[in-house]
Structure 1
Amino acid sequence: MKPLPIKNSWVLVTGASAGLGRASALRLAEWYQAKPLIVGRRLDNLSELQAEIDERFHIPCEIIVTDQREIEGREKIAAKVAELKVTAALLVADLTSFGPFDASRADAYAEVIETNILSFTDLLTGLIAIFRQQPFESSIIAVSSLAGETSVPFQAVYGASKAYVSNLMRALSVELAGTGVSVGSFAPGGIDTDMAAVSDLKWGRLGLMDVDRCAAYACHALVHRQSFAIPGIGNRLTYLASRTLPRSLTSRLAALPYRRPR
């Protein structure tokens, strides 16, 4: 499949307030001369990113300040996507919860499920409907995780939610074949972001992928319309191991980076 031409086109990036979303918006502007439509909940962060894109690359950038967990937020995103005739979407926004599985954390689990599954699915449905009506080809990449490819103790609900994302996008990539709308998932391992910093990892940043490097892979997956992409040789080897070793063993190995609760 030929790369999707996104130069001078609008590209939606959710979760752009920080981390992978922010780095991806910068990469899209710098390397592809695409115009980022950035979405997040923090106006100050988005405004800073918009100013940086303008100052460094002289590329137009628009902001949507909203919470995609709210129906009104998703409607706001969809309306702007239709108005600007957005060509591609990188869906980064997600939420995690770490620690032992416990009833006292039910509210946190509900937030993860609402963000990573329910609101994500509703937003995706709206984007696909808009893209299918446009007279040009488009691409959607949803950020999943290697945590969705095996069970992950101490981030169990997060991993389960990412398994949903990966499996949904694999199915839709087949359903939408020939429609002009390409969809796929991007499954990194640990990334050196604020999310990783609060995950209580034993070895700190050791083994985490640089966020700018990860963003380069994510943007490549979007432009090349990959149905499933894993960044970096180390992550690919981890994925292969998860497919060849006994599931019980891979689950125990996946638990090793986390501090066990006392």
Structure 2
Amino acid sequence: MDLQLRGTSALVTGAGSGIGRAVASALAAEGVRVVLLDRDESAVRDAARTCPDSIVLVADVTDEEQTSSELASLERLDAVVCCAGISGPVGSGIEEISLGEWNAVFAVNVTGPFLVLRHALPALRAAGAASVVLVSSDSAFVASPGMAPYCASKAALVQFARALSVDLAGTGIRVNTVAPSVVDTPMSRGDLGDAAFDAADFPVQTADEVAAHVAYLVSPRSRAVNGTTLLSDFGYTARSGFPA
């Protein structure tokens, strides 16, 4: 199916690795001119090699001065995909988590998309019809032990997208989220260890599979989809705890 994306432009944050890198590559393959943003210059320049005619921006999404400065040159964007994120403490109860660690998770996972979109809105408005996709997690709906900051931040991101879709109603800008379960990325392997993926007893999806969901939500094919979350968790949240 032609996603009707050829000739459009999209900003992807966290484009240096993991889901962000996969999204940038998938959109480029659809003929999108991709703007790749990451705080790791080496990683994002390497990712740009698979994205013809791409633009590389280097910024920490938690730093408003850096973010606004880098985005100021963008006159038009047909899409923004916010993939930058961190796990924060894993396997720790809140009594073991410092305020600094809590704030760091929210700074990247929630404040980062706020700052990016705040400064990207003029370019999105210039497109007339545009799409925003925020990468959340199934952890916005279900919780794993010892991941309170991550779970809370991803839930906040889902509601931020819903609120923003309401605020931007009538502007032609849609806002949605993608919420995958465990994805095989460097970040996930860092949290769980390579052994957990090499002999996984739980369903795992690839970054490319998540990128395919994002590409659909970015495209005009999904023009009626707004203010919602695409939850890709192999049906886990649909299961009842009823013992039958």
TM-score by length of 1: 0.80
Q: Counterpart of 1:39 in structure 2: which amino acid?
A: L
- Contact 1:217–1:231 (CA<8 Å) still a contact in 2? no
Residue type at the aligned position of 1:181: I
Deviation sequence 1:101-157 (CA, Å, 0-9, x none): 24453132221011112232222223234423x152111000111001123322111
Higher strand share: 2
Contact kept, 8 Å, 2:61 with 2:115, in 1: the verdict is no
For the residue of structure 2 that corresponds to 1:204, the secondary structure is helix
Aligned-partner Cα distance in 2 for 1:74–1:240: 39
Segment drifting more, 134-143 vs 72-81: 72-81
Cα distance in 1 for partners of 2:135, 2:217 equals 10
Letter matched to residue 41 of structure 1: R
Q: Distance in 2 between matches of 1:202 and 1:27?
A: 25
* 2:18 corresponding residue in structure 1: 19
Q: Residue 259 of structure 1 aligns with which residue?
A: none
- Greater than 4 Å deviation, 4+ residue runs: none
- For residue 230 of structure 1, what is the amino acid of its counterpart? L
Q: Assess if the C-alpha contact under 8 Å between 2:77 and 2:123 holds in 1.
A: no
Gap change, CA 1:103 and 1:77, over 3 Å in 2: farther
2:78 partner amino acid: T
Q: Would you say the 8 A contact 1:191–1:209 is kept in 2?
A: yes
| Residue 253 (structure 1) aligns with | none
Superposition deviation, residue 60 in structure 1 = 0.8
* Structure 2 residue 189 is the aligned partner of structure 1 residue 189: no
Contact 1:176/1:182 (8 A) holds in 2 = yes
Q: State the identity %.
A: 24
Root-mean-square deviation (CA, aligned residues, Å) is 2.3
In 1: Cα distance, 2:92 partner to 2:142 partner: 17
Between structures 1 and 2, the one with greater helix share: 1
- Structure 1 stretches of 5 or more lacking a match? 54-58, 247-262
> In structure 1, what is the equivalent of residue 208 of structure 2?
212
In the TM superposition, what are the counterparts of 1:159-238 in structure 2 within 5 Å? 159-200=151-192, 204-205=196-197, 206=200, 207-223=203-219, 224-225=222-223, 226-227=225-226, 228-230=228-230, 232=232, 235=233, 237-238=235-236
- 1:126 aligns to what? 119
Aligned with 1:45 (options 43, 48, 59): 43
Q: Which of 142, 150, 154 in structure 1 is aligned with 2:134?
A: 142
- Is contact 2:78-2:127 (8 Å) kept? no
Number of residues of Structure 1 aligned to a counterpart in Structure 2: 231
1:108 maps to which residue? 101
Q: Distance in 2 between matches of 1:240 and 1:18?
A: 30
Give the whole-Å Cα distance in 1 for the aligned partners of 2:216 and 2:204.
20
For 1:221 and 1:74, locate their aligned partners in 2 and report how far apart those are by CA, in whole Å.
Answer: 24
